[in-house]
Amino acid sequence: MTAVATLDDVTMRFREHTALEGVTTVIERDSITGLLGRNGAGKTTLMQLLTGHRVPSGGRVEVFGARPFENDDVLRRICFIKEGQRYPDHFRVRDALTAAAMVFPEWDAGLAESLLRDFDLPARRPIKKLSRGMNSAVGIIIGLASRAPMTLFDEPYLGLDAVARRLFYDRLLADYAEHPRTVVLSTHLIEEIASLLERVLLIDRGRVLLDADVESLRGTALTVTGPRDRVTAFAGHHELLHSESLGGHSRAVVRLRGGATGADAGDAGLSWEATSLQQLVVAMSLHTAPAPTRATEHLEEVTR
């Protein structure tokens, strides 16, 4: 695998807060990466850095071997579809597609036409007059038909109904199989896209929590249940991400260490199941959330 994009110790500071801190990661060529994280985790900022919309406060961002900021040579190979993309007021659907066709060197007009039919979009209607979901569909069509070597989708599904979302995933996968390229997809609908993803990049409050390929995650993230002491003992040997107890009974999400497998949990007298990507992401994000006691202290101070 070769890298299409690298981030090396990247920090992005705004006046009041730090959006990204010490992020080091690699986006692999011809892969679908899920960029996951809670609201405000820094997903959009990361994408803005990759597409040259922002310059990092610290560290180095390289895409196709060069810095993307104001670099036309890099930018022509990138398509960035973001939630809430603005189109000029007087543009019709057809105008936006015409414009995209002029700009993206590998634009596939046939694909754009067939997607237009799939999503049932009125080509002559002003984009301003489209519903939220149809507006998102315009972005999705541009993103797929651009065939850009690196395509980024930042929560592209807003307002799309379940059928249209399914359509997007199917068409993305089908076109990706025929024309492999690098896709980065940020989303909150983890369950829906889990089967699409080859890699996962989870960020939380500006830091990378998880940077792994989905295949390896499947074998190493477990949810174990059993008597509390046994769960605690087992979790002690691995990485405990989240646990909840009721009486003497515990349930914990762990990441296995040292090549352990589910069988080891069975040997420890616990019942286990593979943790889904969504459960894993929730567990890891909760794991790093500020301790609730601190929140209470804070509240007490306010009421005093």
Partner 1 sequence: MNRVLTAARLQFVHPLVVLGIPWLVVSISFAINWAVWALADLRDQPGAGFTGGVMALYITVMVVFVQSVTQLLPFAMGLSLSRRTFFTTTALVALVSAFGYGLALAGLAAIGDATDGWGVGLSFWAPIGMRADGLAMQALVSGAPMLALIAAGVGMGVVQKRWGPAGVWGLIIGSITVVGGLVVLVTWLRAWNEIGAWFTDRSLATLAIGLPTAVALVLAALAWGGLRRVVP
Residues that bind partner 1 (CB under 8 A): 48, 51-55, 70-72, 75-76, 78-82, 85-92, 95-96, 98-100, 102-104, 142, 148
Q: Strand ranges (DSSP E) for 64-206?
A: 78-82, 150-154, 182-186, 199-204
87 versus 176: smaller Cβ distance to partner 1: 87
As a whole number of angstroms, the distance between CA 27 and CA 199 comes to 9
Best CA proximity match to 38, nearest among 288, 293, 294:
288
For partner 1, give the closer residue by CB, 102 or 246.
102
Measured from the CB atom, is 99 or 214 closer to partner 1?
Answer: 99
**Smallest distance, Å, CB 55 to partner 1?**
7
Q: How far is the CB of 115 from partner 1 (least distance, A)?
A: 17
Yes or no: say if 125 and 135 are a contact pair by the CB < 8 Å rule.
no
- If one counts every other C-beta atom within 10 angstroms of the C-beta of residue 234, the result is 25
Contacts of 168 by beta carbon, 8 Å cutoff, 6+ apart: 140, 156, 157, 160
Cα–Cα distance, 48 to 43 (Å, whole number): 9
177: Cβ contacts below 8 Å, ≥ 6 apart: none
Q: Choose between 146 and 285: whose C-beta lies nearer to partner 1.
A: 146
- Kindly state the smallest distance separating residue 15's Cβ from partner 1, in Å: 13
Q: How far is the CB of 133 from partner 1 (least distance, A)?
A: 18
CB of 79 to partner 1, least distance (A): 6
| Nearer to partner 1 among residue 99 and residue 194 (C-beta) | 99
